[in-house]
Amino acid sequence: MFLENTINHTKQSGWIEVITGCMFSGKTEELIRRLKRAKFAKQQVEIFKPAIDTRYDDKRVMSHDSNEIQSTPVPAAANIPILADNCDVVGIDEAQFFDDEIVRVCNDLANKGVRVIVAGLDMDFKGNPFGPMPNLMATAEYVTKVHAVCTRTGNLAQYSYRKAKSDDLVLLGEVEQYEPLSRAAYYKSMLRDKVRNIKVNEAEEISPKFKTGNG
């Protein structure tokens, strides 16, 4: 379990925490837990999420288990500093959907003494690093990687396999569109999908060629 940094009360110090992993791994659940602890301590807390994320609620950060906390949807990372003025703690959910500016925003807030807690997917459905998440993890003081349970093997899952037939990088969805898979299960599924997508031309009848001449 993550425990908050011991604050040197003689000098205000900010930092960045990143919570990452695949879908259904409990990222938002852990983000909400940390933010509620800060609120209980009567710290000034603001929570932001990308305006594109409207799966559960327009103005709440909500986990798959229906835990929720009030949030402010913003269209771009540049909107966050203005709205986060005078905050002790800033929470950001679904950070992978933000533009690269989110990295500078988080570091600027931390440099001003704000505790910044960021949650987001580390990889997209193709298994590639997702958006600004690698740079956020690189500049964060604390990185927590959480895992789901593979729906096929029961092992730890770190990949978000897309069941829906779409190549769009951003496709909001739940269990109908995605499932968490282990490395082995993900590799087999992606290989199977690749084989299924191979285009095979219709069979053509080839006329026999007869030799002409003296023979």
Query: Catalytic site residues?
Result: 94
Q: Which two tokens stand for residue 178?
A: 């995605």
Measured CA to CA in angstroms, residue 5 lies from 8, 119, 208 at distances of: 9, 18, 80
How many C-beta atoms surround the C-beta of residue 58 within 10 A? 11
CA pair distance 163, 154, nearest whole angstrom: 18
Residue 156 in 3-state DSSP? strand
Positive or negative: CA dihedral 174, 159, 19, 118? negative
**Closest listed residue to residue 53, CA positions, set 160, 172, 169, 179:** 172
Residues 60, 83: Cα–Cα separation, whole Å: 16
Nearest to 151 by CA among 176, 119, 122: 176
